[in-house]
Chains A and B, each alone.
Chain A
Amino acid sequence: MVLALALTGCSSSTTTSGSASAAPAITADTGKPITVWVDSDRAAASDAYKAAFPNDPVTVETYDGGANGSGTFRTKIQLFDTSGSGWPDVVFSTQNNDAAWASQGSNGKQAYAAVLNSGLIPDATISGFAKGALDPCTVDGKVYCLRNDLAQDVVWYNKTLMDQFGYKVPTTWEEYQALGDKLATEHPGYIIGAQGDPWTPEIYMWSSKCQANGITGATAVTVKTDSTECKRAASLLDDLRANKTVPNVSVFSPEFVTNYTGKVLMMPGPAWYGGALFQNTASVNVPAGQMAIAAPLPWKGEDAVTGDVGGATWFISSHSANPGLAAKFAEFVTTADAYQVDKAPGYPAFSAAATKWLAKQAASNYYATDMSALTTAGGEIWSGWGSGISSQEAIWAKTMTPGITAGKNLVDLLPDWQKAISDQYQVDGYTVN
């Protein structure tokens, strides 16, 4: 113990780099204790860490993860900034745009997030994440967080229903729209998507290269929603909302489960839809062997790109009294098989873990096809849509959802959207172009 005490304080984390499997701790970290914040779902991650390193002084506290725009993470950190103490050492956040504020000190205070790619986390680990996975964590070349999972959009579809109806899986967005029109007349009541969620733009607008969130610097954004790219996606949504094949309903509403269980033919959406909607008894609960995954759709004549809905992140505090242990913890929960492969519900952002996670999913035989589309999509996320401080989801929910609920068309609401995004970014201190 004395020896261990002497050794700690510098870096106890380097011994567990890479995709270390959950080997039991050889030396416990006996340095200063750290506090870790997770949401209730990610308690599995901290449990896995405690099982692997039972003697490390890690205190776990549960909070809401900043979900649904609550902003708890930022709120609490700003209070700690004001009081000058109390910061948690490691924080899990369900949002992927927290680096935008956590990397910046406000009112002359030290920025909360520690820079991870200048020695705190080994380069080998940093480079082990999927291409583009750390983009939302990177500001001016510095990495401020580790990605927990990827939330790349793919095209989920029910292969059994497709075969039964005699349809082919569309290969472009134009074909997707045509299929919707056909489905509306031939099999009314079935759907090929949903547009009642705040992340609707992150599925349809992002993958159409609509420049609504063009982050060009730490506090600069370009917003341009009157482009062809925005209009074509908006008009696709308008058309398919009118014929009820992509209804204005949230996939997490009781209404969705009541009206569309067994009726989801297709559903463009993030990687986590698999576990959250289809393989979930509390949602539409599709039986095994029916659901399949297709790669993101391109618009005709273009390369396929896709969007990203969330994809959680882990931060390390720049105030931590024991950064070595904090780094060890963050590295473990993002890379170790004991959590990312064995327990995690979402597609791991760390490539080596993702490969094993896919193999595990394939072995379960739930999906009717292989899951390679997830890997394809992971590399196709369009970088023209950034991770700014203002929540695009909050803006969409506030501006567009009430508009279409009131019977307006998205195409006509695009100028309102532009204004709402610009206003919000300006209030948050950005230069808007």
Chain B
Amino acid sequence: MKSNTSDGSSVGAGFLRRRSALADSPKRRMAPSAMSYAFVGPYLLFTIAFGLGPALYALYLGFTKRDGSGFAGFANFTHVMKDFRFVPAVEHVGFFVGIWLVALIILVTFFSLLVHSIGANRVRTSLRTIYYLPGALAGASSVMLWLFLLDPTASPANFLLRAMGMDSFNQVVVPSHMPVIFAIIAFWAGAGGWIVIMYGALNNISQEIMEAARIDGAGPLQLALRIQIPMIRKWITYMVIMSLAAGVQLFVEPQFLSQATQGSIPNDYSLNQLAYQYAFKQNDFHGASAISLLLLIVALSLSAIFVARGGLFDKE
């Protein structure tokens, strides 16, 4: 799809005028059609039922006493934060999210630029499909696959594991390796989708700008650094925010590995697992709600920073 429908370009002024005329048209803005309600309706309904509703319930639980005797203030929050498992869980999730996000930003951008720069259409399409394939394996099943990959006695890549001095599964899945392993699993499963999205964003950069830059003598590196990356910055920010929200909720991977390692990856490894322990092992839904609210606050404030810095909602 070669088009010159660029968002931030200074060329195609006529188009821009047309576009802003459309956006400013009061009719368009003020009177959404019935169809738009029909599109938004189901989303809204499910968001309220499965997103907003539970979140409000968590808010209620988080600030009420365990025995149901009224307002608890911050008691539930201080209680969970004093739990000996809380700080390790924060560290685990923090390390994992840190490693994963940095890897996502650098590698996804790199691979998208790489695929985008390949001339042959067939190679490009097949590469994109290959990147995307692991994403087709949903959370739990991809962990199952990794259980084999990480076991030196069963893995097709066991020479790599052995080269790193790991001869048994127990040696591979020690707690200090886990943030990296979870980051690799998450990257492997999710990066392909983002590469496809970034590729689309790169396609959206107008050919005129690219041509102009080339005429000015920009090589591929300068093109990438000065034109392409700045122009897909919003998409990178979007990826970081979505991944951050998913990453702090780390649950399926450690939960599975915990069972597969007979518990040497603890079942309270991540914050979400700890919340799960509170709710379903200790029968303390109030403590569990407190943890999820803390997660929400952290994810929201970090997202706010990224939104502000990444200019996600800036008007062009």
Contact indicator A250/B170 (Cβ below 8 Å) = yes
B261 near A427: Cβ-Cβ < 8 Å: no
Bound CA–CA A258/B169 (angstroms): 13
Interface centre among A258, A398, A406, by most B CB within 10 Å? A398
Chain B residues positioned under 8 Å from A75 (CB to CB): 280-281
Q: Which residues of A have CB within 8 Å of B280?
A: 71, 74-75, 78-79
Is B282's beta carbon under 8 Å from chain A? yes
Would you give the shortest CB distance from B204 to chain A, in whole angstroms?
47
Flag whether A207 is at the interface (Cβ < 8 A): no
Q: Which B residues from 256 to 313 make CB contacts under 8 A with A?
A: 258-259, 261-264, 266-267, 280-283, 285
Give the most central of B169, B170, B171, B262: most A CB within 10 Å: B262
A175 at the B interface (CB under 8 A): no
- How many A residues face the partner with a CB closer than 8 A? 37
Report Cα–Cα, A393/B280, bound state, in Å.
19
A69 on the interface (CB 8 Å rule)?
yes
Q: Are B171 and A394 in contact (CB under 8 A)?
A: no
B263/A69 in contact, CB under 8 A: yes
Shortest CB distance B263–A (Å) = 3
Question: Bound state CA distance, A197 and B263, in angstroms?
Answer: 9
By beta carbon, the residue of chain B nearest A253 is B169
Number of interface residues of B (CB under 8 A): 29
Question: Is there a chain B Cβ closer than 8 Å to A108's Cβ?
Answer: yes
B151 touches A254 (CB 8 A): yes
B225 proximal to A (CB < 8 A): no
Q: A69-B259, A78-B280 are in contact. Are A107 and B66 (CB under 8 A)?
A: yes
Task: Report the number of A-B residue pairs with Cβ-Cβ less than 8 Å.
Answer: 84
Residue of B nearest to A71 (CB): B281
Nearest-neighbour CB distance to chain B for A219, whole angstroms, equals: 13
Taking a contact as CB atoms under 8 Å apart, the answer to whether B84 and A255 are in contact is no
**A62: CB under 8 A from chain B?**
no
**Interface pair B170/A401, CB less than 8 Å apart:** yes
Q: Mark B137-171, 1 if CB is under 8 A from A, else 0.
A: 00000000000000111100000000000001111
Q: Does A416 contact B (CB under 8 A)?
A: no
Question: Measured between alpha carbons, how far is A252 from B84 in the docked complex, in Å?
Answer: 31
Cβ of B267 and Cβ of A69 under 8 Å apart?
yes
CA distance A394 to B263 in the complex (A): 6
A107 touches B259 (CB 8 A): no
Q: Contact partner of A254 among B153, B259, B261, B283, CB < 8 A?
A: B153
**Which parts of A377-424 form the interface with B (CB within 8 Å)?**
391, 393-394, 397-398, 401-402, 405-406, 423
- For A248, the chain B residues whose CB sits under 8 A away are 168, 170
Q: Which residues of A contact B168 (CB under 8 A)?
A: 248-249, 253, 255
With a 10 A CB-CB cut-off, give which of A70, A107, A406 has the most chain B CB atoms. A107
Contact of B283 among A106, A198, A398 (CB under 8 A): A106
Interface contact B262-A107, CB-CB below 8 Å: no
- Measured between beta carbons, the chain B residues less than 8 angstroms from A303 are none
B130 interface residue (CB < 8 Å to A): no
Interface pair B170/A198, CB less than 8 Å apart: no
Q: Digitize A70-90: 1 where CB-to-B-CB distance is under 8 Å, 0 elsewhere.
A: 110011001101100000000
**Minimum C-beta distance from A303 to chain B (A):** 31
B24 within 8 A of A: no
On whether the beta carbons of B174 and A402 are closer than 8 Å, the reply is yes
A198/B282 contact (C-beta < 8 A), A258-B153, A405-B171 known: no
Take A249-B168, A255-B168 as given contacts and tell me if A393 and B263 are in contact as well, using a CB distance cutoff of 8 Å: yes
A107→B261 contact, CB < 8 A:
no
Q: How far is the CA of A253 from the CA of B154 in the complex (A)?
A: 10
**CB within 8 Å for A401 and B264 given contacts A106-B283, A423-B84:** yes
In chain B, what residue has the closest Cβ to A401?
B264
- Docked-complex contact B174 and A405, CB < 8 angstroms: yes
- The answer to whether the Cβ of B216 comes within 8 Å of any Cβ in the partner chain is no
B85 located at the interface, meaning its Cβ lies under 8 Å from any Cβ of chain A in the complex: yes
- Bound together, the chains give a CA A225 to CA B61 distance in angstroms of 39
Known contacts: A196-B170, A255-B153, A402-B175. The answer to whether A107 contacts B283 by CB under 8 A is yes
- Let me know if A68 and B263 touch, CB within 8 A: yes
Is B316 engaged at the interface, CB distance under 8 Å to the other chain? Answer: no
Tell me if A428 counts as interface (CB < 8 A to partner B): yes
Q: List 24 A-B contacts (CB under 8 A).
A: A68-B262, A69-B258, A69-B262, A78-B283, A81-B283, A106-B283, A108-B67, A197-B262, A198-B262, A249-B170, A253-B151, A253-B153, A253-B169, A253-B170, A254-B151, A255-B153, A391-B263, A393-B262, A393-B263, A394-B263, A397-B261, A397-B262, A401-B170, A405-B264
Beyond the given A252-B262, A391-B263, please list 7 additional residue pairs across the A-B interface where CB-CB is below 8 A: A69-B262, A71-B281, A78-B280, A197-B262, A255-B153, A394-B266, A402-B174
Q: Residues of B at under 8 Å CB distance from A? A: 66-67, 83-85, 151-154, 168-171, 174-176, 258-259, 261-264, 266-267, 280-283, 285
Chain A residues packing against B (C-beta within 8 Å): 68-71, 74-75, 78-79, 81-82, 106-108, 196-198, 248-250, 252-255, 258, 391, 393-394, 397-398, 401-402, 405-406, 423, 427-429
Shortest Cβ-Cβ A-B pairs, 5 listed: A397-B263, A75-B280, A398-B266, A401-B264, A423-B84
